[in-house]
A and B are shown apart, each in its own frame.
Chain A
């Protein structure tokens, strides 16, 4: 039996009320009032599709041994590189073994489901196992565009396996159509779209039913057999029509979270699937459609194993952690949509030394520390000479990954001088659980969340962006956690 063994989700904390956007740009496109309901989830200045996909992947592997990860697939149409395999960044952050398949899926919004299918095929053929598939998008629409209001940021991840499957893969049906409702050229930053009525009627209106019918015929099931029907479609009218055509019961059609998150592109169907799995019961049949340059339709059946899956944050857990972003210009600056002055100091070079990055990639991406075999002291960054002044042993270290250990705040500050795209810059000294101490930047918090002794978890974020050379590099930051009563 091959299928989904685990799932994870991530929604960035900041939520931008769409009326704030419309309030700023509605004068130029008044019709957008129709798109200005609810809020969109927006990535922080230090997040992008890679960091969000990593967060979802980490959520997905909660309760599992990372040494078992047999492949990492990353799907996005907004990756930070056209050439530098982002799946390796996600795999690095997972501290996965490097002798595995890694691949990026891109090019169309169905890339998410395509990646999932590729993993299912690989596992099904016996060529890989415990493959983590993570999809994320951080799409941009120009100011005053429909897309700006439509799009949201987020990620979802799945582990595909033949062990302890919680949703068995029963079959799929795929189409490839050069139907250009949206597109982005190789040099372009913003999405372009054609007339919405055409997108709605011909795109969603034809291709989603085509995919559903194709799947049902191939697998010998009826559309109404499904307990959960998942397909992305921004247009309420089109959804109504599709649901009516198939006589879907409304409560079985998965909410597309348009008003809470927005359309997350290649991650959309997968986020809806992750959300559905949070509530799914053994025996539920699930239909998942990915849409964009054609469709993938997938059929899963939930098993008993779902009752035994360790709890994870998922989509609902992420949605619950929120902060209002009440400043549209902050969003625009973070996404480099408006030219803000970062001063002469901001123009100073941040040199990336690729030899150094490679030599230390496990430390940087995987947060791999070292533990002294002589005295047991855990230390980060890894050391050759033990940092314990009573020990000082040389080359007696074993590697230990600490990204999932969390820590406690030893000291902290809120700094108005450190250059930051989300001032004040907050950082402090963290005592890593099980040993070690390091100074981390804090993120996704306000000064009120910081206190000596407060627990933090580590989060994979953008470390810096070199605009001159278009280099994004990543590292870990600390996020204060609210202490929950057991």
Chain B
């Protein structure tokens, strides 16, 4: 009978580059930057790493295909490198691979890497790519991500009878809160606190999403070295152990895109993956037990709907919690304590690991008090790749006993 991942794997070390328009850096430079920090934090030598998982999403530019890139950039000694890709969950997938590698007993120490170098296209936005397959060219709508997520907002407003004004207010608060947090973070790309009137005064990009409701394109890399609790005890006997409590992924079934039951107001995948994750982690009351979260705020509305999809806010009550400050840094469950995608941008495969990096650093009390979460017990990360009606959701729960 499968037991899940809980308490079988711990994080030995992590690294994370500064995210942003890294005009000065090749992908190799980003990889090395993250790796140096990670190796030092893990207090091991490179030769101790037995296997690696590499997450990257964009093929058209960036690092190419396969696992070769990492072996070459880091001069890894002929060890396995498995490239994984699952839209915005690619980073969490690489972490998952490394964790399962260790939990299965196949490896003692494994490396998870997420890297994306996107700013060489010459135009804004993600590189054009048939991300949803060849059929899209023939019959897919001329849609963009904000347009698809914008429909989440109108569906949410209709489903729960929350006036659009209030939804917009809540979305603005979500952005405001993230910018407040990101302003304090030296690794973030955008480090300015933004006054609420600037957020609310921003033009509509895809009704009802405005400029400040959308995230941006960035370069970045992050990585983690994982091992068993026993091995960590030998390498870092005096350190608190950040344990992996749950790793869950859920992929759309086709019913959101093609069937008529779905209410369009949230992600079925997030609802499923989080339930499975809580069960795996032994969490019975998420609202009471989760201490902090990093969720996928590609758009403010995603974060808003996610609070309910994670079963933390009651259905229809997300805006109330948001506007009450429940998710602010000084609220009950700080969300995006590092500033989130809004401040870091979204180098796709790096984001999942950046989120885990933030949880990890908070658990070990590494940040100055102005952006520290007090005494966290469980931290949750969430990624959502694709569009609301066909997507992949990943959830990771970390904990410190």
> Please, which residues of chain A bring their CB within 8 A of the CB of B258?
379-381, 383, 387, 436-438
Closest CB of chain B to A252's CB: distance in Å? 48
CB distance from A290 to the nearest CB of B (A): 36
Closest CB-CB distance, B315 to chain A, in whole Å?
Answer: 18
A192 vs B199: C-alpha distance when bound (angstroms): 55
Report B247 CB to chain A, min CB distance, Å. 25
Total A-B residue contacts, Cβ distance less than 8 Å: 129
Q: How far is the CB of B45 from chain A (nearest CB, A)?
A: 44
Q: From residue A112, how far is it (CB to closest CB) to chain B in Å?
A: 30
Q: When A388-B259, A418-B147 are in contact, do A427 and B155 touch as well, CB less than 8 Å?
A: no
Asked whether any CB of chain B lies closer than 8 Å to the CB of A364, the reply is yes
Nearest Cβ on chain B to A51's Cβ, whole angstroms: 16
Within 8 A of B (CB), among A464-486: 464, 473, 475
How far is B204's CA from A238's CA once the two chains are assembled, in angstroms?
55
Judge whether B255 and A389 touch: CB under 8 Å: yes
Interface-forming stretch among A67-75, A94-102, A239-247, A350-358?
A350-358
Tell me if A435 is interfacial: C-beta within 8 Å of chain B. yes
Closest to A466 in B: B137
**Is there a chain B Cβ closer than 8 Å to A414's Cβ?**
yes
- Does B128 lie within 8 Å of A345, measured CB to CB? yes
Q: Determine the residue in chain B with the shortest Cβ distance to A356.
A: B134
Is the CB–CB distance between A419 and B142 below 8 Å?
Answer: yes
Q: Does chain B have a CB within 8 A of A440? A: yes
Q: Mark B128-152, 1 if CB is under 8 A from A, else 0.
A: 1010001101111111101110110
Determine if A348 and B128 form an interchain contact, defined as CB atoms under 8 angstroms apart. yes
Q: Are the C-beta atoms of A420 and B142 separated by less than 8 Å? A: yes
Residues of chain B with a CB closer than 8 A to A431's CB: 260
User: By CB atoms of chain B within 10 A, which of A356, A413, A452 has the most?
Assistant: A413
The reply to whether B259 and A377 form a contact with Cβ atoms under 8 Å apart is yes
B190-233 with Cβ < 8 A to chain A: 204-207
Query: Complex: how many Å from CA A380 to CA B122?
Result: 37
Give complex CA distance A348, B258 in Å: 29
Shortest distance between the CB of A47 and any CB in chain B (Å) = 15
Which residues does chain A contribute within 8 Å of B150, judged by CB atoms? 413, 415
In contact, A411 and B147 (Cβ under 8 angstroms): no
The reply on B121 being an interface residue by CB < 8 A is yes
Residues of chain B with a CB closer than 8 A to A417's CB: 125, 144, 146-147, 205-206
Question: Nearest B residue to A463 by beta-carbon distance?
Answer: B138
Q: For residue B135, which residues in chain A have a CB less than 8 angstroms away from its CB?
A: 356, 360, 381
Q: Which residue of B lies closest to A363 (CB)?
A: B139
> What B residues does A379 contact at CB under 8 A?
258-259
Most chain A beta carbons < 10 A, residue from B122, B137, B141, B257: B141
CB atoms of A429 and B134 under 8 A apart: no
What residues on A are CB-neighbors of B261 within 8 Å? 389
Q: Shortest beta-carbon distance, B142 to chain A, in Å?
A: 5
Q: Assess whether A343 is interfacial by the CB under 8 Å rule.
A: yes
Q: Which residue of A lies closest to B158 (CB)?
A: A452
| B147, B204, B254, B255, most chain A CB atoms within 10 A | B147
Q: List residues of A (408-447) whose CB comes within 8 Å of B's CBs.
A: 410-420, 425, 427-429, 431, 435-441, 447
Minimum distance in angstroms from A45 CB to a CB of chain B: 11
Q: Roughly how many angstroms separate A389 CA and B123 CA in the complex, as a whole number?
A: 41
Contact among A381, A436, A447 for B139, CB-based, below 8 A: A381
Residues of A close to B205: CB separation below 8 A: 415-417
Which residue of A has the minimal Cβ distance to B265? A411
Bound Cα distance from A437 to B137, whole angstroms: 19
B114-130 contacts to A (CB < 8 Å): 121-123, 125, 127-128, 130
Q: Which of B127, B130, B151, B254 contacts A413, CB < 8 Å?
A: B151
* Interchain CA distance A349-B134 in the complex, whole Å: 12
| A427 to B121 Cα, complex, angstroms | 27
Report B-chain residues with C-beta under 8 Å of the C-beta of A437.
257-260
Distance (whole angstroms) from the CB of B47 to the closest CB of chain A: 43
In the complex, how many residues of chain B place their beta carbon closer than 8 angstroms to a beta carbon of chain A? 39
A413 contacts B139, CB within 8 Å?
A: no
In the bound assembly, the distance between CA atoms of A418 and B140 in angstroms comes to 13
Q: Does A34 contact B (CB under 8 A)?
A: no
Task: Confirm or deny: B253 has a beta carbon within 8 angstroms of a beta carbon on chain A.
Answer: yes
Q: Which A-chain residue is minimally distant from B151 (CB atoms)?
A: A411
Measured CB to CB, the closest approach of chain A to B258, in angstroms, equals: 4
- CB neighbours of B257 from chain A (8 A): 437-439
Which residue of A is nearest B268, CB measured? A389
Complex Cα distance, B128 from A441, in Å, reads 19
**CA gap between A389 and B262 in the complex, in Å:** 11
Contacts of B318 in A (CB 8 A): none
Nearest opposing residue in chain B for A361, CB measure: B138
Chain A residues with CB under 8 A of B361: none
Distance of A414 Cα from B205 Cα, bound (Å): 8
Distance of A411 Cα from B130 Cα, bound (Å): 24
- Measured between beta carbons, the chain A residues less than 8 angstroms from B259 are 377, 379, 387-389, 437
How distant is B165 from chain A, measured CB to nearest CB, in Å? Answer: 17
CB of B264 closer than 8 Å to a CB of A = yes
> Do residues A345 and B125 form an inter-chain contact, with CB atoms below 8 A?
yes
| A356 CB contacts on chain B under 8 angstroms | 134-135, 138
Quick one: given A411-B264, A437-B258, are A357 and B138 in contact (CB under 8 Å)? yes
A344 proximal to B (CB < 8 A): yes
Residues of B within 8 A of A350 (CB): 137
Known: A343-B123, A345-B128, A388-B259. A415 touches B206 (CB 8 A): yes
Write out the residue numbers on chain B whose beta carbons fall within 8 Å of the beta carbon of A413.
146-148, 150-151, 154, 206-207
Q: For A425, what are the chain B residues with a Cβ–Cβ distance below 8 Å? A: 142-144, 147
A-B residue pairs in contact (CB < 8 Å), sample of 18: A351-B134, A351-B137, A360-B139, A383-B254, A388-B259, A411-B155, A411-B264, A412-B151, A412-B154, A413-B154, A413-B207, A415-B143, A427-B141, A439-B257, A441-B141, A447-B207, A463-B139, A475-B139
Closest 8 CB pairs of A and B: A348-B128, A411-B151, A415-B147, A344-B123, A413-B150, A415-B206, A387-B258, A413-B147
B interface residue numbers (CB < 8 A to A): 121-123, 125, 127-128, 130, 134-135, 137-144, 146-148, 150-151, 154-155, 158, 204-207, 253-255, 257-261, 264, 389
Residues of A within 8 A of B (CB): 343-345, 348-353, 356-357, 360, 363-364, 377, 379-381, 383, 387-389, 410-420, 425, 427-429, 431, 435-441, 447, 452, 463-464, 473, 475
